[in-house]
Amino acid sequence: MDVLNRRILILAAVVALGSSTCRLSQRNHSEEGAAVPGKTIEQVLSEHTDQWMAVPGVVGTAIGQSKGKPCILILTASNTEQVRRRIPPSVGGYPVLIEDTGEIHALDRPKK
């Protein structure tokens, strides 16, 4: 085997080893709860908002922060057991937090 073929073979082995290590690292992070999201938090929120708004007591959804990282907020009129049972602790790799805000009403806008 000449020097060029040997270098190509070594380079291919290094690339293969590096990509498998990267996949292993991502899988380990996912298993530990630090998931690598496949979608933006905006996409995840948009996909699930209608479902969450159908839960009695839920008055809104938002994007917030928890421990310096983005999270999904579920705003509730009251944080009941029924709400907690129907809202998962995380979706799409993002934590979901339930925040009791009370009822939310739109303000009347003055007529012009």
| Contact call for residues 63 and 92 (beta carbons, < 8 A) | no
In a domain, 81, yes or no: yes
Do 63 and 85 belong to one domain?
yes
Q: Residue 24 corresponds to which tokens in the numbers above?
A: 């292993």
Q: Is the pLDDT of residue 61 over 50?
A: yes
What is the model's pLDDT at position 9? 39
The pLDDT tens digits for 72-95 are 999 999 888 888 999 999 999 999
In a domain, 112, yes or no: no
In a domain, 111, yes or no: no
Do 12 and 55 belong to one domain?
no
What is the model's pLDDT at position 37? 52
In a domain, 88, yes or no: yes
Q: Look at residues 85, 58, 86, 56 and name the one whose alpha carbon lies nearest to residue 74.
A: 58
**Domain housing 67:** 41-100
Task: Between 9 and 60, name the one with better pLDDT.
Answer: 60
If one counts the domains in the chain, the total is 2
In a domain, 49, yes or no: yes
| Contact call for residues 71 and 97 (beta carbons, < 8 A) | yes
